Chains A and B, each alone.
Chain A
Amino acid sequence: MGELSQPVLIKKGAEACLYLAKWYDQEVIIKKRMPKKYRHPKLDEQIRIYRTIHESLLIHEAKKAGVPTPLVFMVDVKNSTIIMEFIRGSQVKHLLGIVSVNERLSLCKKIGELIGKLHSYGIIHGDLTTSNMIQAHDGKVYFVDFGLGEKTVDLEARGVDLHLLKRSLQSTHFKYANECFEAIIQGYSRVFDIGTVRSVLDKVREIERRGRYVAERG
């Protein structure tokens, strides 16, 4: 792996371990998808390899859509490892609770606009949660963790993407989930025309109603 030194484990997530290291004098993140003991080895390998390749491709594609993502320096498919740029900043998850109402809403609008850019470019993130968005010190919001993403312009996929974000807001930021989601949709509307936004939101409602138990409304 070349000049890699002092890898320090900074996050043991459910799927991958993140190490902070120096690579040719540059601070990098090493993201290694760990083999899961519980999964059948064949299934496990397929999933890890698929997601590793997929994630690095989508991180690259997202830049073309105008969405900040880390630079990918190296992909080691065999070890399901990606070496990428380290983004200095704060997870949006931690920011939402501590900033002022106005800052929160403008941050959400910005996030909505970025999601709009991804979707209009045909990228579905697949795991839109506030842990997967980092606001860098220069104010730019970076999107990470594209492992569950896909390339499609399908309305259903866009709907699921936003539905998952809404659900994640409700479980993590339930106090202001609604206002955040509304602001996100405002940002999203900067990218798409009103008709498209409406059809995506209709889809989101349809997906909600499809859920096992949802109070029947309107």
Chain B
Amino acid sequence: MKNSEYPAWRCFKIRGAYEGYCLGIESTADDFSIGIVSFNGEVLANVIHAYVPPEGGIHPREAARHHAEVAEIVIQEAFRKAGINPRDLRVIAFSQGPGLGPCLRTGATVARALASYLKLPLVGVNHCIAHIEIGKLKTGARDPVTLYVSGGNTIVAAFDSGRYRVFGETLDIALGNCLDVFAREAGLRQKPGEPFGAIIEKLALRGDLLVPLPYTVKGMDMSFSGLLTAAISLLKKGVYRLEDLCFSLQETVFSMVTEVTERALAHTEKKEVLITGGVAANKRLQEMVRSVAEEHDANFCAVPSEFAVDNGAMIAWTGILAFIHGITTPIEESFVRLRWRLDEVDVPWVS
């Protein structure tokens, strides 16, 4: 793909007037990542360093300690991969929220330090919007219904009148969180490069018995906590094989998000479905969403795994979109926003 074909060019008034690079910092949860992206949408580096807890879930303070420890080497690695100098940068972007407080603050501190040292403008980026924007850049989608499913988020969103609107979301825990907790209760162990979701997916392939679990779609919203409790109690009873429980869990929760995605698609009549977030790598979920897209004559766009998980490139790219539309974040307003909803953000770069 030539640079001139990247969608971002459409919003540039004078071609070439916005040359440069943006460094993006992502640190909302367990990943610390630095991305370097050029203003024409080329990703030069996207280095992700994941924190894997020795046991249990993510402890925000421990994850933040990890981020602080690896920040320096990740930044160096990103510059090495990108083959550019810090002096070539024009703007620094960071993930300002939503996410875990200590983790976000670590990333924000790195961002402020870099920006003031290099005397560059700072842009605070909404993490959820960044997922959608990098998804659009990488798949060529222009105006999709987005299903964003990860360990921290379960959102069905689409653009309407200046903002991304949330059509459906979880009323309690995120889908990925539901899978993670179930996996931990089952005594499974995650490894770097093989998250719980991937282990459950593998086990589910060997299951075929559909065990009834609560199916909770309320209007356009979903609830996973009761379902998780039911699944864990079945697990503890030991009546069913773990493979069958993983299979049933996947079939049920994926059907729920697919149903909501389909309803958003029918309601908005958009012609693209974008699927992103850590859980988007799951083949069974992809198959379900693809089937719904076909049913409604919509294009199915799955974001490549490297850009579907939390990553710095998405922050850099969204930072660029905001920056070229005159949006910057003064240092004194760069405090982190733990509960920053994506429908609170104006997105003037989308029309």
Q: Is B truly associated with A?
A: yes
* Residues of A bordering B, CB below 8 Å: 12-15, 36-40, 42-43, 46-47, 126-129, 131, 148, 160, 164, 167-168, 170-172, 174, 207, 210-216
CA gap between A207 and B258 in the complex, in Å = 23
Interface of B is mostly: mixed
Interface of A is mostly: loop
Seed contacts A15-B263, A40-B251, A213-B341; 5 additional CB < 8 Å A-B pairs = A12-B266, A38-B287, A148-B219, A211-B169, A212-B154
CA gap between A38 and B165 in the complex, in Å = 25
B174 within 8 A of A: yes
Contact B251 A43 (CB under 8 A): yes
**A39-B255, A211-B169, A213-B340 given as contacts; is B220 within 8 A of A168 (CB)?**
yes
CA gap between A110 and B340 in the complex, in Å = 34
* Residues of B bordering A, CB below 8 Å: 97-98, 152-154, 160-161, 165-167, 169-172, 174, 210, 212, 215, 217-221, 251-252, 255, 258-259, 262-263, 265-267, 287-289, 291-292, 295, 338-341, 343-344
B263 contact set on A, CB distance < 8 A: 14-15
CA gap between A160 and B154 in the complex, in Å = 18
B153 contact set on A, CB distance < 8 A: 212
Contact B166 A127 (CB under 8 A): no
From B338, which residue of chain A is reached at the shortest CB distance? A213
Q: List 17 A-B contacts (CB under 8 A).
A: A15-B263, A37-B291, A37-B295, A38-B258, A39-B288, A43-B210, A43-B215, A127-B218, A160-B218, A164-B219, A212-B153, A213-B97, A213-B98, A213-B339, A213-B340, A214-B341, A215-B339
CB distance from A202 to the nearest CB of B (A): 17
CA gap between A210 and B221 in the complex, in Å = 13
CA gap between A126 and B218 in the complex, in Å = 6
Partner of A164, one of B98, B221, B259, B265: B221
Contact A148 B287 (CB under 8 A): no
Contact B341 A148 (CB under 8 A): no
CA gap between A170 and B165 in the complex, in Å = 8
From B339, which residue of chain A is reached at the shortest CB distance? A213
**A14-B259, A38-B258 given as contacts; is B287 within 8 A of A127 (CB)?**
no
